[in-house]
């Protein structure tokens, strides 16, 4: 099994010495750099770079610069997606956004993690667990979404929240770690 196959299967893998993964990250970094250096008014060029970088785009999206991701091809974006400045997506495990997702500035969506055992972690090994974000989700600024999380539909996430476990539909959450603040009727 290749390191990429291990990565996509959610197993421990080595991203630091696998030539294929290094080349794929390098390509994504170059596309992110190109995107981030474009004039904000160059909407057609910006859209074209995102189409080359992002794995699947369902409809209209707007990502304010700067934007950073690991691979890009493991990201799916639904229709009517908006992200403010400084979105970071570590997409080794795959990230799927539903329709009508709005993200505040300085947010991180992290599918990658490292083992707790120091000897394994110090070998540079990591794992990746998918993240799924439902429809009609509003994510406030400085939110951190951790590996393996599923966020339901019609969710509002308060600024500064750390999302470390699954979130049900129709709730407002906030805090570190998050708590359900109220249900949305």
CATH number of the CATH domain containing 160: 2.160.10.10
Domain count, the chain: 1
Beta-sheet strands, E only, within 25-125: 56-57, 61-63, 67-69, 75-77, 81-83, 87-90, 95-97, 101-103, 108-110, 112-113
Furthest C-alpha separation in the chain: 50
Q: Which residues pair with 4 in a beta bridge?
A: none
Helix and strand numbers, DSSP H then E, in the chain: 4, 19
> What pLDDT does 17 receive?
86
**What is the Cα–Cα distance from 51 to 45, expressed in whole angstroms?**
10
* Residue 175 to residue 9: CA distance in whole angstroms: 31
Low-confidence ranges of the chain (pLDDT < 70): none
- Determine whether 85 is an active site residue: no
Query: Nearest CA to 149 among 122, 124, 139, 71?
Result: 139
Residue range 95-105, pLDDT digits in tens: 999 999 999 99
Name the active-site residue from 4, 27, 114, 132: 114
pTM of this prediction exceeds 0.75 = yes
| Bridge partner residues of 57 (DSSP) | 77
Measure the CA–CA gap between 40 and 130, rounded to whole angstroms.
31
Q: Can you give the C-alpha Rg of the chain in angstroms?
A: 16
Neighbour count for residue 173 (Cβ, 10 Å): 21
Q: What is the pLDDT of residue 148?
A: 97
Domain of residue 35 covers: 3-183
Q: Assess contact for 110 and 127: CB atoms under 8 A.
A: no
The pLDDT of residue 185 is 85
Q: At what angle do helices 43-53 and 19-37 cross, to 10 degrees?
A: 170
For β-strands 112-113 and 171-175, DSSP reports them as unpaired
């Amino acid at each position: 099994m290749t390191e990429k196959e291990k990565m996509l299967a959610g197993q421990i893998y080595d991203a630091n010495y696998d030539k294929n993964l290094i080349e794929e990250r390098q390509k994504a970094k170059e596309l992110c750099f190109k995107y981030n250096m474009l004039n904000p008014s160059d909407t057609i060029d910006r859209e074209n770079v995102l189409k080359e970088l992002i794995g699947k785009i369902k409809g209209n999206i707007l990502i304010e610069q700067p934007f950073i991701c690991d691979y890009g091809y493991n990201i799916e974006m639904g229709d009517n997606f908006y992200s403010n400045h400084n979105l970071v997506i570590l997409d080794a495990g795959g990230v799927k956004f539903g329709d009508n997702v709005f993200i505040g500035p300085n947010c991180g969506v992290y599918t990658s993690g490292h083992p707790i055992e120091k000897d394994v972690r110090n070998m540079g090994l990591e794992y990746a667990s998918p993240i799924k974000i439902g429809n009609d989700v509003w994510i406030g600024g400085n939110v951190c979404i951790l590996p393996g999380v599923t966020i339901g539909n019609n969710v509002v996430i308060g600024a500064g929240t750390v999302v470390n476990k699954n979130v049900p539909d129709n709730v407002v959450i906030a805090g570190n770690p998050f708590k359900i603040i109220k249900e949305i009727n």
